[in-house]
Chains A and B, each alone.
Chain A
Amino acid sequence: MLEAIGLAPPDWLSYGPLPIVICLALSYFPFAFLLFSNALNKIDTQLEEAATTLGAPQRVVWMKVLLPLLIPTTMSVLLLTVARTLGTFATPYVLGAPVGYTLLSTSLYSSIRSGASGVAAVLAIVLAIFGILMLLADIWMVRNWQRFVTVGGKGGKRDVAELGGLRLPFTAIAWAVFLVAAFAPLLVMLLSTVMREPGVFALSNFGLAYWTGTESQPGVFTSPEILTALGNSLAIAGSAAVLCGVLGLTVGYAVVRLSGGWLAGFLRQVSFLPYLMPGLAFAAAFLSLFAVPRGPIPALYGSLSLLILVMVVTYLPYASRSGISAMMQVGREPEEAGMVLGAGFFRRILTIIGPLQKTALVTAIILPFISGMKELSLVIMLVTPGTEMLTTQSLRFLDYGHTQLANATILIIGLVVMLLVLLLQRITKTNLAGGLGG
């Protein structure tokens, strides 16, 4: 990327372990941030105030109260990030493959591409085991750190923290992270798509050739690959999202309605199973499962429905989790009130549950839609020339050296995702940072 602005970074900075670590850290930073801000929000400010009134200066409040309370979150963030990083494919592939630096995920990919399905299966199992171990460790920890769960009472007032002299450095760090992690790459990508020769900042060098296309080479708007990929992405992520949303709410409904029964508990557990299974391992399993016809199910490899299916299964845990909480919030009473007044099942769904859960449903659809648009690890092995998605298409462009087209594709993804996020915020009247973490 740096080449685009005219710098020629040394290889150790552009490829291999170091940039992979930096990139992954930056990309999982928001995730950690969400978890931490959520945890901090849940800590009653009165816990800090109690220490203050007993004579503890601010530094001691941090050391003795706040940090110990954050230990479980820190562990959780570490475990989950490790688990997710293991299954990440794109970053190690793009930054590692050119210098022959492979990780579990990238070698899984290459062994499948080269037809070594036995090796692939082993790698997939190893990945899956790692994922499950992490999940188990997380569950064990949550159970053992139970004493950290705050006791009783409403939270105190939120106060804007007074950073005093630390204000400037903190603000600077916050901006730096934002610029490095989000803004700079986008800007560089955008630049690269409007410059004919990378790194030459002359007015004549700028042009929309890569967007509109030239005679020798199709541009973004005319490239059949990109248009197909856009259509596929929207179709796959969209239908997977709708399925997920509906299924998630249904699971939620069932869990709330059957609360206490074994079926509710079972549903709750089952929908969590694929939670931490790395997407890549998951896809490998699906690949071997559906590559050939099995009974009444035709061979799904190479069809859009396989991609939709794998996405639904992957996102279902998240969807059912939010479905359960949405249904819990409404509870049984409104429906029972309808029941007592003689409304039948469909009538209750239509006139009571439906309207009450309208927003929840839209959210439950848009969130997987967003994830689906960005999904790569999960689908990279399952796509075929006809079923390329935007993410996989951008990787293909990279493979063939069409950096500009790849960047343009990524920009399109970014644009679609941003629109979806805006839409979501309009509908739920919240901002994502506040509500996603849980």
Chain B
Amino acid sequence: MSDVILKNVVKNYGGRFLAVNDLTTTFKAGEFVCLLGPSGCGKTTTLRMIAGLERPNSGELLFGERVFFSSRSGEFLRPEKRNLGLMFQSYALWPHMTVEQNVVFGLSMRKATAAEKASRFEELAKLFHLDGLGGRYPRELSGGQQQRVALARMLAVNPSLLLLDEPLSNLDAALRLEMRAELKRLHNTLGCTVIFVTHDQLEAMTMATTIAVMNKGIIEQMARPMDIYHRPATRFVANFVGNPPMNMVDARQGDDLAAWLGNARPFPARTVETFGVRPEALRMAAPGAGAMAATIDTIQPTGADWIVGLAVAGRPMFALSAEPPPAAVGETVGLTLKADGVHAFDGEGRNLEAVA
């Protein structure tokens, strides 16, 4: 088992658009790493560079002791030599091959015998519930089956590293939940390193053992999912992870609201530009209770929770509550704070507590 190591990796397209900007990081062996970020943040480019489908402009890319790419020595290991598994968003099943031919393709490339291929397919078909589908063509399969064929094809050659490029985005919600569980179980049984690209924070939170939040070609923060959520290093991370998103309050006006948030817990004594409040940290109580008053603007019940739109000191905020709100739309409620749901960011968007 080896770590994936990136050193000062730069990738730009046509010399203009900087996709990955001087990225240095290590993805530990055995982890389920999610590269999370908005579109255009460089996450897919990073994945494709690890796969060898894109060549970095400069930097070094190592897999344990093996050099995948080095701009210093000019080495570049071709993708077909890297022994990786890569799964695409479109699955990229070959439409002119049957399920079995698709799955054993990698084995053919490794000169496996017909018997080896057949028994490996048998094994994988059992694992991924593809029994009896070996002779079908991809277009004759459902979306979930296609997905499992793509997984089986990737795993057939026992790759040492799995790379997944938004493989769940084409599935409907129910199937997605099932596949998330499947992938997580797979990671537990195989124990190999997985790098997973997604823009869906729910996917990242639910599956990853490590999340790397990317923005504009750099990793803003890499940490355990719960740490990403509870201790976001930057304003960007805080805002990107969480649904409904964190309430951002401009602190520079120095009004009652800012003062109230600033007293939630002792923050480092530096200038705060923005306070961030998780919606579930805003707790509604009867009018008069709590230090702050708010007017209920909208109520959106989701079934399990209530998303309540509030006007607090003239500013819009969202609260997330497992209890029904104590008042109706247009009425006033009192607010209390759950102190660890409040974060303070400086002018550069850094979390004050993370900088200290």
Interface residues of chain A, those whose CB is within 8 Å of chain B, are: 44, 46-47, 49-57, 60, 64-65, 68-69, 71, 146-156
Contacts of A153 in B (CB 8 A): 88-92, 170
What are 9 contact pairs spanning A and B, CB under 8 A?
A46-B89, A46-B90, A47-B94, A50-B94, A54-B109, A54-B153, A148-B95, A149-B95, A149-B139
| Interface class of chain B by DSSP | loop
Pairwise interchain contact A152-B146, C-beta atoms closer than 8 A: yes
Pairwise interchain contact B137-A147, C-beta atoms closer than 8 A: yes
Give Cα A65 to B108, complex, Å: 14
Give Cα A328 to B63, complex, Å: 49
Give Cα A50 to B83, complex, Å: 12
Give Cα A55 to B146, complex, Å: 21
Name the distance in Å between A334's Cβ and chain B's nearest Cβ. Answer: 27
Give Cα A152 to B89, complex, Å: 9
B315 interfacial contact with A, CB 8 Å? no
Name the distance in Å between B243's Cβ and chain A's nearest Cβ. Answer: 25
Pairwise interchain contact A44-B92, C-beta atoms closer than 8 A: yes
Give Cα A260 to B122, complex, Å: 45
Report which residue of A50, A146, A153 has the largest number of chain B beta carbons within 10 angstroms of its beta carbon.
A50
Given A44-B92, A151-B138, A151-B139, A53 contacting B109 (CB threshold 8 A): no
Q: Which residue of B is nearest A56, CB measured?
A: B109
The 3 closest A-B pairs by CB, nearest first: A153-B90, A54-B106, A46-B92
Name the contact of B96 in the complex, choosing from A46, A68, A156 (C-beta under 8 A). A68
Name the distance in Å between B27's Cβ and chain A's nearest Cβ. Answer: 17
6 extra interface residue pairs, beta carbon distance < 8 Å, beyond A46-B88, A54-B105: A46-B89, A49-B51, A49-B86, A51-B105, A56-B109, A152-B91
Name the distance in Å between A214's Cβ and chain B's nearest Cβ. Answer: 57
Name the distance in Å between B36's Cβ and chain A's nearest Cβ. Answer: 20
B 92-109 to A, binary, CB cutoff 8 A, 1 in contact else 0: 111110000000011001
Name the distance in Å between A254's Cβ and chain B's nearest Cβ. Answer: 31
Contacts of A68 in B (CB 8 A): 96
Give Cα A55 to B105, complex, Å: 9
Report which residue of B51, B82, B91, B170 has the largest number of chain A beta carbons within 10 angstroms of its beta carbon.
B91
Q: Which residue of B is nearest A55, CB measured?
A: B109
B85 interfacial contact with A, CB 8 Å? yes
Q: How many A-B residue pairs have CB under 8 A?
A: 94
Q: Which residue of A is nearest B102, CB measured?
A: A50
Pairwise interchain contact A151-B95, C-beta atoms closer than 8 A: yes
B72 interfacial contact with A, CB 8 Å? no
Pairwise interchain contact A52-B90, C-beta atoms closer than 8 A: no
B341 interfacial contact with A, CB 8 Å? no
Contacts of B137 in A (CB 8 A): 147
Give Cα A69 to B110, complex, Å: 23
Give Cα A46 to B79, complex, Å: 13
Q: Which residue of A is nearest B143, CB measured?
A: A152
Report which residue of A56, A68, A153, A154 has the largest number of chain B beta carbons within 10 angstroms of its beta carbon.
A153
B84 interfacial contact with A, CB 8 Å? yes
B80 interfacial contact with A, CB 8 Å? yes
Pairwise interchain contact A53-B170, C-beta atoms closer than 8 A: no
Give Cα A156 to B48, complex, Å: 11
B53 interfacial contact with A, CB 8 Å? yes
Contacts of B49 in A (CB 8 A): none
**8 A Cβ contacts from B65-92 to A:** 78-86, 88-92
B 155-166 to A, binary, CB cutoff 8 A, 1 in contact else 0: 001000000000
Contacts of B143 in A (CB 8 A): 152
Report which residue of A52, A60, A68, A71 has the largest number of chain B beta carbons within 10 angstroms of its beta carbon.
A52
Name the contact of B93 in the complex, choosing from A57, A71, A151 (C-beta under 8 A). A151
Contacts of A44 in B (CB 8 A): 90, 92
Give Cα A50 to B87, complex, Å: 8
Name the distance in Å between A416's Cβ and chain B's nearest Cβ. Answer: 37
Q: Which residue of B is nearest A154, CB measured?
A: B90
Q: Which residue of A is nearest B93, CB measured?
A: A151
Contacts of A65 in B (CB 8 A): 94
Contacts of B86 in A (CB 8 A): 49-50, 53
Give Cα A155 to B92, complex, Å: 9
Pairwise interchain contact A57-B80, C-beta atoms closer than 8 A: yes
Q: Which residue of A is nearest B140, CB measured?
A: A147
Give Cα A125 to B88, complex, Å: 52
Name the distance in Å between A345's Cβ and chain B's nearest Cβ. Answer: 39
Contacts of A50 in B (CB 8 A): 86, 88, 92-94, 153
Give Cα A55 to B92, complex, Å: 15
